[in-house]
């Protein structure tokens, strides 16, 4: 017997199969998906890989497979999926396989793996501040020590031997850190359980409304009959979508099957998981990136051993090793986090369509503001659409008002907060109600310019302007993190008329304090959400300590339920609209509708204020009326005219590197070739610098093709890229329907 084997490596040259002899004694264990060890190349060490095919003859095989490891084996379906992904997303099969392996075991060296054991656990013993302080003062300075401590900031409570393996460190280093008080060891029985200390009241099923029942019955039918179907549940926030998910999952369990539920990373909060725990007890595994590697490994094992039949997770949970899949549910299906922006650049929604078809089971997508592509497919009948027009608990949708900032300006209001919003905040403070203010920019000022010569302070690594952070009194680049001291004198002309323009969350917070001196505020953006302040902690604090005003970026938009919030202010809608991306209007509309959904979710009716300089834009007006359908119709017409998805696919080919000449040469080669092969089947644009044309000292160019993706085209692109003679480390990335065009 012979095996076709893929070596676990991300080297492009190794993305092909190698034939090996399967020795007699391993024939029983040899199957497609098995993890194996083989001699490869000149290295003395064995390499690891996977069997992706078995056959009776081979012209090339001359070496034998040495070991077959049972523990990490994949299924044949996994391998089929990995092959498909490799072709579609321009990556190695082994890159895809890694996503399907237990967390912490995908490394090229299989001995580096997280293990399931009893024993000693390592905890961080100092606060983040103390540690930062020690590093600053030079008390903590060994690179290895800092590495360990930094790792523990996120993974405190990790199993000791796992830590040693993952960071490649010795036990004696840990002992030193213990002696110096940075870490402590605790002996514990193993079961890293993210639900520990939970005490949740069981929750009973609700009697479904007519619309819910109709939706449920239809999809239930597919579950019972093992039938693949694609469904969209289109319903406003609070219309009872989750209740339908819970009932469908109950049905799936009754059939002895398992369920995968995907939610956006950021809304995967304890409150959200609690709803599932309340209904199903701990028959649940949770997978997301905020769990430690050990926890993720354990959750994975729970699924594999069939101890948990419901998987709730972010994007990558689509690869959870469930047997006998009965349904995939994707909540907030329009969310951009389902598309990966790292290799492999997969779209979990596309894969979910494929996986549910493979498993003869339904796919359920839910949203109040579906992805335009999804809604379009539901119009074409490719996806079945179910509508839940009303809120399940009959709470009213909020009143939404649009405020014209031009009028404010001409009335002499130079503040970021309009008179109307100001009054409403005051009223809310008097009534002890809470307010949320949303601004899509963090920091203090968005750019710094010399009034005399027009000089703008830019990052020296990236070609974008630096943002002023007042509290730290620094200028910071939001792309690479570069920081420099504030400038007062223009470096170009020597003028002292250097001024700050634009606004960010920091400035908004300061302004709120100026306007309302007694107010308590809490801010949530990438700068305040750190290791010690997870976004959950900030939101809990806002809720539990009844802080008056929450100020935040995009992060606050999703999934939370604050009973006491009756006012939401969107400080600048314009900042969301004018982004160089064909989906910016769609995203803005979705955010506005969602943000409005944060107000008045209980008995009291909420008020929402949209502030804008451009009050005639259809996006704002349809969002005000919460009118998805009109928005959809307007937007889909634009897409059709301009040839954007869903009327074609966008293939973005990105070139990055330090050598501009090489980028220009290679991109031209690729363009010339593809222009011929595309011919009249689409539009190909010449390579040009990306909107942000330099990040971290690397030039960024790109080329766009608008066409329907076909297997032939994918092969052409792969062929021409593989045939470039790259000398200076230029990288070429192909992203199909990317989540960001920047």
212 binds, among Zn ion, ligand ADP, none (CB under 5 to 8 A by kind): ligand ADP
**What string of DSSP letters covers 215-237?**
HHHHHHHHHHTT--EEEEEEE-T
Comparing CB distances to ligand ADP, the nearer of 211 and 498 is: 211
Binding of residue 455 to Zn ion (CB under 5 A): yes
Strand-by-strand arrangement of the 229-235 sheet: 284-287, 310-313, 258-262, 325-330, 362-367, 229-235, 384-388
Binding of residue 449 to Zn ion (CB under 5 A): no
- Strand, coil or helix: 296: helix
Cβ-based neighbours of 581, under 8 Å, separated by 6 or more: 587, 740, 741, 742
Binding of residue 453 to Zn ion (CB under 5 A): yes
Least spacing, CB of residue 238 vs ligand ADP, in Å = 4
157/295 Cα distance (integer angstroms): 10
Least spacing, CB of residue 307 vs ligand ADP, in Å = 27
415 binds, among Zn ion, ligand ADP, none (CB under 5 to 8 A by kind): none
Comparing CB distances to Zn ion, the nearer of 459 and 720 is: 459
Torsion region of 469: left, alpha or beta (phi above 0 gives left; psi -120 to 50 gives alpha):
beta
Closest to 551 in 3D by CA, of 519, 517, 524, 516: 524
Comparing CB distances to ligand ADP, the nearer of 245 and 644 is: 245
Closest to 6 in 3D by CA, of 107, 100, 60, 15: 15
453 binds, among ligand ADP, Zn ion, none (CB under 5 to 8 A by kind): Zn ion
Q: Is the dihedral of CA 53, 56, 59, 63 positive or negative?
A: positive
Binding of residue 742 to Zn ion (CB under 5 A): no
Least spacing, CB of residue 393 vs ligand ADP, in Å = 4
240 binds, among Zn ion, ligand ADP, none (CB under 5 to 8 A by kind): ligand ADP
Burial of 179 (0-12, 13-18, 19+ CB in 10 A): exposed
Query: By rule CB under 5 A, what count of residues binds Zn ion?
Result: 15
Least spacing, CB of residue 333 vs ligand ADP, in Å = 12
Least spacing, CB of residue 542 vs ligand ADP, in Å = 20
Comparing CB distances to Zn ion, the nearer of 306 and 495 is: 495
Q: Is the dihedral of CA 370, 373, 375, 378 positive or negative?
A: negative
698 CB neighbour count, 10 Å cutoff: 20
Binding of residue 457 to Zn ion (CB under 5 A): no
Comparing CB distances to Zn ion, the nearer of 23 and 494 is: 494
DSSP structural state of residue 465: B
241 binds, among ligand ADP, Zn ion, none (CB under 5 to 8 A by kind): ligand ADP
Among 459, 524, 670, 684, binds Zn ion (CB under 5 A): 459
Among 482, 516, 618, 673, binds Zn ion (CB under 5 A): 482
Comparing CB distances to ligand ADP, the nearer of 391 and 420 is: 391
Binding mask 492-531 for Zn ion (x = CB under 5 A): xx-x------------------------------------
Comparing CB distances to Zn ion, the nearer of 355 and 464 is: 464
Binding of residue 477 to Zn ion (CB under 5 A): yes
477 binds, among ligand ADP, Zn ion, none (CB under 5 to 8 A by kind): Zn ion
Q: According to the 3-state scheme, what is the secondary structure of 472-537?
A: CCEEECCCCCCEEECCCCCCCCCCCCEEEECCCHHHHHHHHHHHCCCCCEEEECCCCCCCCCCHHH
597 binds, among Zn ion, ligand ADP, none (CB under 5 to 8 A by kind): none
- For ligand ADP, the binding residues (CB under 6 A) are 206-209, 212, 235, 237-243, 392-393
Binding of residue 490 to Zn ion (CB under 5 A): yes
Binding of residue 450 to Zn ion (CB under 5 A): yes
- Residue 598 · residue 560 · CB < 8 Å: yes
Stretch that binds Zn ion, among 30-38, 301-309, 328-336, 460-468 (CB under 5 A): 460-468
64/3 Cα distance (integer angstroms): 9
Among 53, 178, 422, 461, binds Zn ion (CB under 5 A): 461
Least spacing, CB of residue 595 vs ligand ADP, in Å = 15
DSSP structural state of residue 310: E
Q: Which residues pair with 37 in a beta bridge?
A: 48, 67
Comparing CB distances to Zn ion, the nearer of 171 and 484 is: 484
Comparing CB distances to Zn ion, the nearer of 18 and 479 is: 479
Comparing CB distances to Zn ion, the nearer of 281 and 454 is: 454
Comparing CB distances to ligand ADP, the nearer of 387 and 658 is: 387
Cβ-based neighbours of 168, under 8 Å, separated by 6 or more: 112
- Residue 77 · residue 53 · CB < 8 Å: no
721 CB neighbour count, 10 Å cutoff: 20
Comparing CB distances to ligand ADP, the nearer of 237 and 591 is: 237
Q: Strands 258-262 and 698-707: what pairing?
A: unpaired
492 binds, among Zn ion, ligand ADP, none (CB under 5 to 8 A by kind): Zn ion
Binding of residue 479 to Zn ion (CB under 5 A): yes
542/91 Cα distance (integer angstroms): 43
Tell me which residues touch Zn ion (CB under 5 A): 450, 452-453, 455, 459, 461-462, 477, 479-480, 482, 490, 492-493, 495
């Amino acid at each position: 017997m012979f095996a076709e084997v893929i070596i676990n490596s991300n080297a492009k040259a190794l993305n092909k199969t190698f034939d090996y002899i399967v020795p007699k004694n391993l024939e029983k264990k040899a199957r497609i998906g098995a993890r194996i060890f083989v001699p490869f190349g000149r290295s003395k060490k064995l390499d690891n890989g996977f069997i992706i095919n078995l056959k009776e003859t081979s012209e090339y095989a001359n070496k034998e497979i040495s070991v077959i490891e049972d523990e990490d084996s994949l299924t044949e379906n996994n391998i089929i999926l990995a092959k498909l992904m490799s072709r579609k997303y321009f990556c190695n099969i082994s890159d895809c396989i890694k996503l399907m392996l237990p967390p912490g075991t995908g490394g090229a060296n299989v001995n580096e793996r997280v293990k399931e054991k009893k024993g000693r656990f390592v905890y961080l013993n100092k606060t983040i501040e103390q540690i930062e302080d020690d590093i600053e003062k030079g008390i903590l300075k060994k690179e290895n020590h800092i590495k360990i401590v930094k790792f523990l900031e996120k993974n405190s409570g990790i199993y000791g031997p796992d830590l040693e393996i993952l960071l490649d460190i010795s036990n004696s280093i840990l002992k030193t850190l213990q002696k110096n008080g940075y870490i402590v060891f605790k002996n514990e029985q193993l079961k890293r359980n993210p639900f520990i200390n939970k005490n949740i009241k069981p929750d009973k099923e609700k009697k479904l409304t007519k619309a819910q029942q109709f939706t449920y019955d239809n999809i239930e039918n597919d579950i019972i009959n093992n039938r693949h179907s694609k469904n969209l549940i289109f319903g406003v926030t609070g219309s009872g979508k989750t209740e339908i998910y819970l009932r469908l999952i109950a049905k799936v369990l009754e059939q002895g099957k398992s369920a995968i539920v995907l939610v956006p990373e950021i809304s995967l909060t304890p409150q959200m998981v609690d709803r599932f725990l309340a209904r199903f007890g701990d028959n649940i595994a949770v997978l997301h990136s905020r769990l430690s590697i050990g926890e993720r490994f354990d959750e994975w094992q729970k699924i594999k051993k069939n101890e948990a039949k419901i998987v709730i997770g972010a994007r990558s949970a689509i690869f959870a090793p469930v047997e006998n899949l009965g349904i995939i549910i994707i909540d907030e299906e329009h969310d951009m986090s389902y598309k990966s922006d790292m290799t492999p650049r997969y779209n979990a929604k596309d894969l979910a369509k494929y996986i549910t078809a493979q498993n003869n089971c339904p796919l359920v997508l839910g949203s109040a503001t579906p992805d335009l592509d999804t809604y379009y497919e539901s119009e074409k009948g490719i996806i079945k659409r179910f509508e839940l027009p009303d809120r399940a608990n009959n709470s009213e949708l909020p009143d939404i008002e649009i405020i014209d900032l031009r009028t404010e300006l001409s009335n002499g209001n130079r503040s970021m907060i309009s008179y109307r919003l100001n009054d409403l905040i005051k009223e809310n403070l008097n009534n002890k109600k809470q307010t949320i203010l949303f601004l899509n920019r963090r920091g203090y000022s968005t750019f710094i310019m010399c009034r005399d010569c027009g000089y703008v302070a830019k990052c020296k690594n990236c070609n974008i302007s630096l943002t002023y952070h007042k509290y730290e009194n620094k200028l910071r680049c939001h792309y690479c993190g570069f920081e420099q001291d504030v400038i007062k004198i223009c470096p170009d002309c020597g003028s002292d008329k250097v001024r700050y323009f634009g606004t960010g969350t920091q400035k908004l917070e300061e302004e709120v304090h100026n306007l309302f001196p007694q107010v308590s505020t809490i801010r949530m953006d990438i700068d305040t959400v750190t290791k010690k302040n997870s976004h959950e902690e900030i939101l809990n604090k806002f809720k539990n300590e009844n802080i008056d005003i929450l100020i935040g970026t995009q992060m606050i938009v999703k999934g939370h339920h604050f009973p006491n919030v009756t006012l939401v202010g969107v400080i600048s809608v314009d900042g969301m609209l004018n982004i160089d991306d064909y989906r910016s209007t769609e995203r803005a509309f979705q955010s506005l509708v969602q943000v409005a959904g944060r107000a008045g979710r209980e008995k009291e009716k909420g008020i929402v204020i949209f502030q804008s300089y451009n009050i005639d834009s259809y996006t704002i007006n349809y969002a005000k009326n919460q009118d998805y359908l009109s928005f959809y119709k307007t937007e889909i017409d634009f897409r059709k005219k301009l040839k954007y998805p869903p009327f074609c696919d966008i293939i973005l080919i990105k070139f990055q590197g330090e050598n501009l000449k090489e980028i220009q040469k290679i991109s031209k080669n690729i363009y010339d070739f593809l222009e011929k092969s595309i011919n009249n089947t689409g539009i190909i644009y010449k390579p040009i610098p990306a909107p942000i044309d330099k990040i971290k000292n690397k030039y960024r160019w790109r080329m766009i093709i608008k066409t329907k993706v076909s297997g032939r085209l994918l092969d052409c692109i792969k062929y021409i890229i593989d045939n470039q003679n790259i000398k200076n480390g230029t990288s070429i990335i192909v992203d199909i329907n990317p989540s960001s065009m920047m």
